[in-house]
Amino acid sequence: MREAATRNNDGRGPFNEGEQVKDLVATLDNWQKSGDKRPFKFIISPEFGDLVDLERLTRDLMTRMERNLATHLEWMAVSHFNTGHPHVHVALRGRRADGSALMLGRDYAKHGIRAVAEDLCTLQLGYRTSLDATEAHRR
């Protein structure tokens, strides 16, 4: 929640599916107090994070995950711009819409989420060029 890390050029902070989150810490605390067994945390760190609309990418990714998992998901995210690699930290509540525990299959957690994020980045930026590959290799 450091100001320098969480504020983007628009002055916006933590967000979820449709709005800016007013109190991220209180919401996370409420999730924990309600007995959620498996909260999930992950980072979205696109290769060209400085060129991608990170909030849109995150919201689109979470919408696709809802479709893939066949349930509404509660989540919050914070974009970080304080490093050379802009990225997003996502907290995903470990509860399905019906109140049961949310389970992410091993392959989905390791590969499925990443594949969806890659597809969404390609939709925003277009296909990777040979110049992009050369620059990635240089870095």
| Residue-wise DSSP of the chain | --HHHH--TT----B-SSSB-S-HHHHHHHHHHTT-S--EEEEE--TTTTTS-HHHHHHHHHHHHHHHHTS---EEEEEE-SSSS-EEEEEE-SB-TTSSBP---HHIIIIIHHHHHHHHHHHHH-SPPHHHHHHHHH-
Predicted local distance difference test score (pLDDT) of residue 12: 66
pLDDT for 100 equals 92
* Number of domains into which the chain is organized: 1
pLDDT at residue 22, rounded to an integer: 76
Place of tokens 């990418």: 57
Range of 7's domain?
3-138
- Max mean pLDDT among 3-17, 43-57, 122-136 falls in 43-57
Q: How confident is the model at residue 4 (pLDDT cuts 50, 70, 90)?
A: very low
pLDDT averaged over every residue in the chain: 86
pTM above 0.85, yes or no: no
pLDDT at 6 over 60: no
Quick one: what percent of the chain has pLDDT higher than 70? 90
